[in-house]
Amino acid sequence: MVRRAQFIDVTAGVLLEKGLNTATMQDFAQAAGVAKVLFYRLFPSRGALVEAVFHRVETAIVQAYDAPWEGYGSMVRRVLESARKDPTPFLVVLRNSGGAADQLEWGRRLRALFNARTRPLFNPDPAAPADADTRADLASDSLFGLFVDSMIVWLEDRDGLDDVARIRWWSQIVRTWHRASREAYRLDPQR
């Protein structure tokens, strides 16, 4: 198990340096200082190894989001705390989750994970206008890009803020986004 975790660490570093579609099993083995066959003993393919990097991040995000809600920004604060402990795989996954989904569909999967956590904010009132569920799905999806971009900037410390200021900013954004989106997407009864 320890070696598996070490190989995932090495793989994440190589993927961050060389790129998701460029790094090879030979690159991973060389960075680890071992024969390529050792990687294949634990991971049947390059795809399985790369998937293990995504799974590490996915697991951390699920754990952060499964904790009790403590107010706007609490979930993202926990994701950031987790990412601070192990930033390399997070950066690999986040950088490869924007725009069009790659061959591993990380973007689609990460978006689905994020949206499953934000969707309850948009459960339509029973008296909402027709098609409110469809609009609620659109509303919950509308913050995903900002989440991905913000996490990358925060992990790279490119904004000059500390994490307390970042989470305070995020909390204000989410609170305003929640209210404005419920109104814009007509999720409450019309007055």
Mark residue 148 as left, alpha or beta (left: phi above 0; alpha: psi -120 to 50; beta: remaining).
Answer: alpha
From the list 65, 66, 53, the residue with the least C-alpha distance to 12 is: 53
- 102 phi/psi in degrees, rounded to 5: -80, -175
The mean pLDDT value of the chain amounts to 91
Query: Is 161 strand, coil or helix?
Result: coil
> Which sign does the torsion angle of CA 84, 89, 91, 93 carry?
negative
- Tens of pLDDT, residue by residue over 53-99, are 999 999 999 999 899 889 899 999 999 999 999 999 999 999 988 65
More confident of the two residues 169 and 1: 169
- Tens of pLDDT, residue by residue over 173-183, are 999 999 999 99
Decide if pLDDT at 102 tops 60.
Answer: no
CA dist 34 and 31 (Å) reads 8
Q: Report DSSP letters for 123-164, one per residue.
A: PPPTTSPTTHHHHHHHHHHTTHHHHHHHHHHHHTT-SS--HH
Give pLDDT, residue 103.
47
Provide the H-helix boundaries in 21-73: 25-32, 36-42, 46-66
Number of H helices, E strands in the chain: 10, 0
CA dist 116 and 140 (Å) reads 8
